[in-house]
Chain A
Amino acid sequence: MLHTFVALVEDKTGLLSRVTSLFRRLNVNITSLTVGGTETAGVSRTTIVAEAAEDRAPRIMASLYKLEGVLEVDNVGRHSAVVRELALLKIAASQKTRSDLFQLAEVFRARIVDLAPESLMMEITGSASKIEGLVQILLEGNYRILEMARSGRMAMRRGHHTSRVLEALGDIPQRTEPTTLTGDPKHETLDLMAEEDQV
């Protein structure tokens, strides 16, 4: 199954390679990885989506924590979270076909961010399935996607949670679950259109 880990790490040379080297060592494939800033200076946030059997998550988290400079790890896939990805798509489009694409963009709440004589660029943010939905419709409509860039997923838990270690050891006797003050307790819906309204 796909796991989504969020790790807060010190913003230091080499830390990212320690993180990725760990997944390589555990023989776990990373399907997407994003790194960027956080609310705290000197701390980067990485979101790692990885394919592994369900019961491997605790060990992956424990191993991440063993890396010097990894400050906090969360397995957000197990909680109600907002998961987003950004994609840029360059699509072949003449003046004639453009207007259809404009409509499509509107339906998907995508934006046209660049226009050239033979192509246009769409920016879409959403869940992976929403992006894949758009891609599928484009292909079915015989549009040519000239280029696509996907950011990889970013994830953030809904509501508040104490930033302590969460369900750290999987099925080992658990601490009480931190209270979620707001947000949908269910896992994130993959509903194409509805999700952005929840934000």
Chain B
Amino acid sequence: MDNNGKTNLNPSEAAIYSQPTRLTGAETVWATMVGEGVRDVFGYPGGAILPVYDALRKFPIRHILVRHEQGAAHMADGYARASGRVGVAIATSGPGATNLVTGIATAMLDSIPMVCVTGQVSSKVLGTDAFQEIDITGITLPITKHNYLVNRTEDIAPALREAFRIAKSGRPGPVLVDITKDAQQNSAIFDFAAAAPAPYRPHPMLSADSVAIREALELLRTAKRPVILAGQGILHSRAMEQVRTLAERAQIPVACTLLGLTAFPASHPLNLGMMGMHGESWVNHAIQQADLLIACGMRFDDRVTGSLSTYAQNAKKIHIEIDPAEINKNVRVDVALVGDLKEILETMLPRMPKRDGAAWLRTISTMKGSAAVHDIQQLPDNGHLYAAHVINDIWRETGGEAIIVTDVGQHQMWEAQYYKHEQPRSLVTSGGLGTMGFALPAAIGAKVACPDKEVWVVAGDGGFQMTSAELSTIVQEQLKINIAIVNNGYLGMVRQWQEAFYEKNYECTPLISPDFVKLADAHGIRGAHVNRRAEVIPTVREARQHGKVFLIDFHVEQEDSVYPMIPPGAALHEMIRRPKPSPLVETATEI
């Protein structure tokens, strides 16, 4: 109650939510978060955020101490992707805040709900280049959905509450709240209810009127070769059931984007698999031959379209999307239904005509017949260890039920091709920004969010080294995470491009790594090397049975490449196919 910021807060009392109470700004930060339902935060302290850390012990919040603030942002991101709840990252001013930047951008490009809180120098010295002062709201302006510079205690709760609302509403995204140190130290009346943000205002350009819905239904009724394009928006909108009903009732095959892979069960007979640059050939051919595309919560990213001028030329396009700025951005569409996917599908489904899709499904299965990866498990061991086998075995052993958190590169694409996800949100991967170093910290976030789920990291030898310091975080937090390093001795995806487009000039892509098992050992983490295919399953079993974090270093074929592959600028159907004979393809003729 006095002016130097001391209050008599009793954390066990929920009274602070029922009656206005005087709190310090620091206490307000936590009280607001608790009120917003936050249970876990990821952060790293420093001078400008110390008051907030000092008040932490009074609140029922788990704080995970990271080893680098980029890790905090990725953890908050992984937390959000795995659970659908808003992730929270905390950092100090200056370098703490700038270290968050890559993580914020990663969340921005993939529309992940996240709130970052940073400390800022005192308002009295703002703008003077004070020690560790940096204009983080300026820096993050283009990579946040919104951000705030708060320099008065009484503004903290309203700004934070609004930040949570913005982060999770509409098309989700990261929000940053920068709070000056004096605002944290001073006290003001905390009134949680009065700090409630104005109600969410849907984007004024949303439109899914009856005319447009009728047009969409008419296109669906007359289509002969329709394909549903399933994106991450299905997860955000929680429209898995509705998309499934649409597909089943109208017998429409479903192609998934990388981030949409878990929006539709892999084992579902209508699921074709992943589309795009490393999608299987029949998926891309189906899209190219389609006469109708129903895009659900996806944004026609260049990784899924190939060259735009040749993309699905014979197809009418229906785009169901919550962000009006995505309509006609890359691909011109015939009918745009701009709004919440689930609501729109629920309006459409009762009027959805039954269709006979058999002929088109047969056509696709014929295309698939000659190219499909049937079951690479049955392929004879030729003495080499392929990443695809590693992923395939992890899939078998986990029954497709684990949360897999990947890094970026070849292993990421093999994961997408060979791990068949059955559960929504069970793949956590950086799509839009393609951020190496994402996997390990994002897996920590996923595990904290879903402690009862099995969590696997699948990372390359390159990307793993970008954030491997977070191994200590896993140990400190006693998290059970399984780590698979797909170690090919290269920055593999870049090497693959050098092989395909730069005359095998492997400039700066071979890389030396530490002995990852010894690195694990130095952290008190059990680990194992795997060099042969026969060792994969026993080691995966050992890892899963081990009660604590376990690291497996898979030494895989070094110059293996991901196929199919669409070269840059080529059409979606102009794929470079797997060379034959391939140790990864069992074609009908080879059986």
Contacts and interface: CB of A to CB of B under 8 A. Distances in A.
Contacts of B146: 67-68
A94 interface: no
A172 B212 CA distance: 9
Given A165-B204, A168-B207, A168-B324, A173 B141 contact: no
B203 A58 contact: no
B141 A58 contact: no
Contact of A62 (B138, B149, B327, B335): B327
Contacts of B335: 173
Q: How large is the interface on A (under 10, 10 to 19, 20 to 34, 35 or more residues)?
A: 20 to 34
B209 A173 contact: yes
A189 interface: no
A18 B138 CA distance: 9
B216 to A, nearest CB: 11
Interface in A1-40: 13-14, 17-18, 21, 25
B454 interface: no
A103 interface: no
B211 A168 contact: no
B324 A169 contact: yes
A128 B69 CA distance: 51
A172 B325 contact: no
Given A68-B166, A168-B324, A59 B204 contact: no
A55 B204 contact: no
Interface in A172-199: 172-173, 175
A165 B205 contact: yes
A25 B328 CA distance: 18
Contacts of A175: 207, 209
A129 interface: no
Interface string A46-72: 000000000100110111011110001
B35 to A, nearest CB: 21
A173 B145 CA distance: 28
A169 B137 contact: no
A61 B205 CA distance: 9
B338 interface: yes
A66 B204 CA distance: 9
A63 B324 CA distance: 8
A18 B144 CA distance: 11
Contact of B325 (A14, A17, A59, A173): A59
Interface string A153-169: 00000000000110011
A133 interface: no
B327 A172 contact: yes
Contacts of B325: 59, 62-63, 66
Nearest to A167: B205
A143 B207 CA distance: 55
Contacts of B397: none
A169 B338 contact: yes
Contacts of B207: 168-169, 172-173, 175
Interface string B16-49: 0000000000000000000000000000000000
B166 A62 contact: no
A168 B204 CA distance: 8
Given A62-B323, A173-B215, A168 B141 contact: no
A36 B207 CA distance: 31
Contacts of B205: 58, 61-62, 65, 165, 168-169
Given A59-B329, A165-B205, A169-B336, A65 B324 contact: yes
A169 B166 contact: no
B328 A58 contact: yes
Interface in B138-165: 138, 141-142, 145-146, 149
Given A62-B205, A66-B203, A170 B324 contact: no
A165 B215 CA distance: 22
Residue among B138, B149, B207, B215 having the largest count of chain A Cβ atoms under 10 Å? B207
A21 B141 CA distance: 8
A66 B141 CA distance: 13
Nearest to A26: B325
B212 A173 contact: yes
Contacts of B142: 21, 25
A21 B143 CA distance: 11
Contacts of A62: 203, 205, 323-325, 327
Interface in B325-372: 325, 327-329, 335-336, 338
Contacts of B141: 17-18, 21
B237 to A, nearest CB: 17
A173 B323 contact: no
Given A55-B328, A61-B205, A165-B204, A172 B137 contact: no
Contacts of A25: 142
A170 B205 CA distance: 10
A150 B7 CA distance: 56
B327 A173 contact: no
B211 A173 contact: yes
A163 to B, nearest CB: 10
A62 B138 CA distance: 22
24 contacts: A14-B137, A17-B138, A17-B141, A18-B141, A21-B142, A25-B142, A58-B327, A59-B328, A62-B205, A62-B323, A62-B324, A63-B325, A65-B204, A66-B145, A68-B166, A164-B204, A165-B205, A172-B327, A172-B328, A172-B336, A173-B211, A173-B215, A173-B335, A175-B209
Interface of A: 13-14, 17-18, 21, 25, 55, 58-59, 61-63, 65-68, 72, 164-165, 168-170, 172-173, 175
The 9 closest A-B pairs by CB, nearest first: A168-B205, A62-B324, A62-B325, A165-B204, A68-B146, A63-B325, A172-B336, A173-B212, A173-B211
